[in-house]
Structure 1
Amino acid sequence: MALVEARMPAVPSLPLGPVQYDRQYVDQLNNVLRLYFNQLNHVVGRLVANQGPYEVYFGDEGVDAFGRLRVSNPFTLFDSQNRYAIDNQFDTSTATGGTATYLSNESSVSLNTTTSSGSEVIRQTYRVFPYQPGKGLTFLGTFVMAAPKTNLRQRVGYFNTANGAFLQQNGTTVSFVLRSNSLPTPGTPSDVCTVNQADWNVDKMDGTGPSGRVLDLTKNQILYMDFEWLGTGDVRCGFYVDGRPQICHIFHNDNTQTAVYMQTAILPVRYEITNTGATGSASSMKQVCSTVISEGGYEATSIDHVARRTTALGTISTTFLPLVSIRLASTALGAVVLPNRVQVLPTTNQNYEVALFKNATLTGASYAAVSSDANVEADVSATAMTGGTIVQTDYVTTSGSGGAGILVAPTGYNFDLQLGVSLAGVSDIYTVGIRTVSGATTGDAVGSLSFYDLTQ
């Protein structure tokens, strides 16, 4: 089978036309167009000259992580922009004087360290993002790093403390890093797969590579990474250059290891700036925008799990009481769990308001694993609740059960409702709360909260 590379010529810049007709301008325009169409003709000629079956190659950047031609059907799993405030989809951890400051006129967050050793700021998404085998997973993140200096380390990427890939500038050394909790010692996170800029195997970004660009991380950059996980695929890393992705380094993992190259591709987005020792001056890195995309769509199918209260909750009055709650098990903080539907059946004649709360404070909660899914724990013992954010409401009477559909067609799963985890390892909690609309009569009810676990 013949291999033909169909790399299309760049669209030419046409000369500006004069106010009045000018023969020299027409000749110049014709020359530009003639050259362009000659280049197109060359590409087409190479295609038709190959007889029989042949493979057309569109370049590494023209295909996804699995070698399929890229088309415009990405499925967005996550997006972040700091338009009016610091994006609250990220948790923030600071140490030794580190701060995170909102830059309203730049829609950015400034991550600031002092000169002290150990000064640090970490911003990481509460959510991790589901990978489906056979589909490429793409991360894009924009940033501006601080000027390199001794004892200053900066990182941007798709990673956590155990697994993932990221761009690192440590002092003056720029690297792509593949972190693994699987290799070389299972259960021990390692950055052994660190490749410095001088060793990148596609474009070193030193002016000599295919892009011709000299990388300057103190200027705004669009970092690009995609994953062909399946436990053993490639990880491609690079930057956008003039509107096009330019791969700089590929981590090749097939036919090289005796175990998976990292434990999972279900990971968060993370930005870090850390003083590994005292620095000569304070430093600031800007976090701008980021997204995680499943290339080739996302198959929205999963079985439904249910956490339920089977014994009626009594003495319901005008103050919300907790009916049933769910959270991630401490052993499954990387699970992708989304609430689906709230159902409530009142057993006393009254009018009720039913609400789904996020991160209410519960009194007397006692969690146990959901029988069909050990990744999730449920509580039906709590006696009171305060605070939290209402994310959905419904109104029911004794005339029938109340069902509140959280999964809304045609967009599929509502990933914004996914259970997240803080940097301290604390899971979000969803609680079904119920109260009577009037205090004339107390009420009683049973109910359930169903959910999807996309990692089971």
Structure 2
Amino acid sequence: MSGTKVFNEDPKQIKPLVHGLNNGSPTPIAVNSSGRVKTLIYDVNGNMINFISSSYKDLRVVQIFAEAGWLFNYNVNPYMIISKTTGSGNVSVSNSKAVLQTSATTNSSAKIESIRVIRAVPGVGSLVRFSALFTTGVTGSTQIIGIGDETDGLFFGYNGTSFGVMRRQNGTDYWTPQSSWNGDKFDGTGVSGVTLDPAKGNEYYITFQAPGFGYVSFGIEDPSTGDLIIAHKLRFANSSTKPFLLNNTLPLMAEVENTTNNTNISLETASGMAFNEGIVTDALDTRNSISASKTNISTEKAILTIRNKFTYQSKTNRVRIKLDFLSISVDGTKNAEVRLIKNTTLGGTPSWTDINTNTSVIEYDTSATIVTGGNLIISSQVAKNISKDLFLGDLNIFLSPGDILTVSASTSGTAEVSVTLSWREMF
């Protein structure tokens, strides 16, 4: 047909086939289910280059921001990690790893979760990376690690003897076993060729679009290349009527539990971090403040206390608040020391009042008297008959649900101390 022209009045009828040469043999160009050409890029040595994309398929050129994480080089720091056990469960540290064990007892559990949380917001993806070593699964036991809590979350782990991934929504667990993964099953038959051994240390990751109707992907690092390989995807767009998670504020969490099993189940993790794939602004924050004053201050007394409530709008509260401003005024004969104390024990008879029942997760008290114990956050000397402003935003002082923060004062003379505290509520 050399020199022959092909003509058709309807160009749509012309359907050329595009081929490439593969070792000298014509091969059709591969496309995906949307008809888009699949492109793989290789380096000069023939190794495929893996370009990492965000949860929203952007080439990872955006900066990721660490929000919550853990390390265990020394201990399980109670200012960073909450540990909970039941029965004979225990949490310890060995070889820079947190070790969660049930012991060889039924009805026992051990759990850790980060005090800091990731707050997933609309339009910004989230990424969670963590290491884990599991015990081979046993009937009557559960092992999970990922992002979430007892109500909502995304996890890798064992459901009895079955290893897989799990989505928790409003307290209900939805497991997908490894044999049903729709990506690389990590059983030696996938594109990576890797057979996963959960009893060995591996690097896992989870990415998800802001809780709604987007997608979630679970992946594992290829031990040969360091590439992150997708193991399973969950898709909710155009198929669900309920968001895949019902809350957007979640900690890192790991847990082992024996129900009917009476052998020791152990889960270990060396590190983990949750990131937002972009800047999370204060677009969804609200602001509040409260003032209080007390006279005849000499020995240390509580001036003002705020508490992040456990329950808000008849739901479990997960909103964190971030302090950003403290104003102090002292009218007296001597300088005063003003302190910010977290989770102190209040003396007297505290009486709690909502800042606003409909718009705020905070309640406050001005009736308490003495303070005992707690975590001293800030101590500041304020000269007599003067005011002082402290900008706290850069200090990352957060209150989780159940936390209280007290402003107290003392002086070697007598004084009236007035304070104003303001904060952001991070819905």
- Give your verdict on TM over 0.5: yes
SS of match in other structure, 1:3: coil
What is the aligned partner in structure 2 of residue 152 from structure 1?
141
Q: Contact (CA 8 Å) 2:84, 2:111: kept in 1 or not?
A: yes
Q: CA shift at 1:265, angstroms? A: 2.4
What is the aligned partner in structure 2 of residue 397 from structure 1?
383
C-alpha distance in structure 2 between counterparts of 1:399 and 1:368, whole Å = 30
Deviations 1:181-223, CA, capped at 9 Å, x for gaps: 2xxxxxxx212x3211111111111111122111111001112
Q: Does 1:275 align with 2:258?
A: yes
Q: 2:355 aligns with which of 353, 360, 370?
A: 370
C-alpha distance in structure 2 between counterparts of 1:369 and 1:269, whole Å = 29
Q: CA shift at 1:316, angstroms? A: 1.2
Deviations 1:130-161, CA, capped at 9 Å, x for gaps: 12211111111212112323323211111111
Structure that is richer in helix per residue: 1
C-alpha distance in structure 1 between counterparts of 2:333 and 2:276, whole Å = 48
What is the aligned partner in structure 2 of residue 78 from structure 1?
68
Deviations 1:46-70, CA, capped at 9 Å, x for gaps: xxxxxxxxxxxx97x7211111111
Q: Describe how 1:7-22 pairs up with structure 2 within 5 A.
A: 7-9=40-42, 12=45
Q: CA shift at 1:291, angstroms? A: 0.6
Q: Does 1:223 align with 2:204?
A: yes
In structure 2, runs of 5+ residues without a counterpart are: 1-33
What is the aligned partner in structure 2 of residue 355 from structure 1?
339
Deviations 1:346-377, CA, capped at 9 Å, x for gaps: 13242111121111111222111114842111
Q: Contact (CA 8 Å) 2:331, 2:386: kept in 1 or not?
A: no
What is the aligned partner in structure 1 of residue 160 from structure 2?
171
Q: Describe how 1:240-389 pairs up with structure 2 within 5 A.
A: 240-241=221-222, 242-279=225-262, 281-300=263-282, 302-309=285-292, 312-317=293-298, 319-332=299-312, 333-363=317-347, 364-371=349-356, 373-389=359-375
- Residue range with higher mean Cα deviation, 298-307 or 233-242: 298-307
SS of match in other structure, 1:445: strand
C-alpha distance in structure 2 between counterparts of 1:11 and 1:367, whole Å = 68
Q: Contact (CA 8 Å) 2:320, 2:398: kept in 1 or not?
A: yes
Q: 2:191 aligns with which of 207, 210, 226?
A: 210
Q: Contact (CA 8 Å) 1:352, 1:397: kept in 2 or not?
A: yes
Q: CA shift at 1:300, angstroms? A: 4.7
Number of residue pairs the alignment of both structures matches: 384
What is the aligned partner in structure 2 of residue 17 from structure 1?
none
1:230–1:270 distance in 2 versus 1, CA, 3 Å: closer
C-alpha distance in structure 2 between counterparts of 1:323 and 1:373, whole Å = 24
What is the aligned partner in structure 2 of residue 53 from structure 1?
none
Q: Contact (CA 8 Å) 1:128, 1:420: kept in 2 or not?
A: no
C-alpha distance in structure 1 between counterparts of 2:251 and 2:69, whole Å = 12
What is the aligned partner in structure 1 of residue 17 from structure 2?
none
What is the aligned partner in structure 2 of residue 99 from structure 1?
90
C-alpha distance in structure 1 between counterparts of 2:185 and 2:398, whole Å = 38
For normalisation by structure 2, the TM-score amounts to: 0.84
What is the aligned partner in structure 1 of residue 107 from structure 2?
118
Which amino acid is the alignment partner of residue 88 of structure 2?
G
What is the aligned partner in structure 1 of residue 422 from structure 2?
450
- Runs of 4+ aligned structure 1 residues displaced above 6 Å come to none
Which amino acid is the alignment partner of residue 249 of structure 1?
H
Identity of aligned residues (%): 25
C-alpha distance in structure 2 between counterparts of 1:322 and 1:229, whole Å = 40
Q: Contact (CA 8 Å) 1:81, 1:87: kept in 2 or not?
A: no
Q: Does 1:428 align with 2:403?
A: yes
In structure 1, runs of 5+ residues without a counterpart are: 13-35, 41-57, 182-188, 409-413, 422-426
Q: 1:407 aligns with which of 393, 398, 419?
A: 393
1:339–1:153 distance in 2 versus 1, CA, 3 Å: same
Q: CA shift at 1:234, angstroms? A: 0.7
What CA RMSD, in Å, does the superposition of the two structures yield over aligned residues? 2.2
C-alpha distance in structure 2 between counterparts of 1:303 and 1:150, whole Å = 47
Q: CA shift at 1:6, angstroms? A: 4.0
Q: Contact (CA 8 Å) 1:316, 1:435: kept in 2 or not?
A: yes
Structure that is richer in strand per residue: 2
C-alpha distance in structure 2 between counterparts of 1:260 and 1:285, whole Å = 30
SS of match in other structure, 1:259: coil
Q: CA shift at 1:127, angstroms? A: 3.5
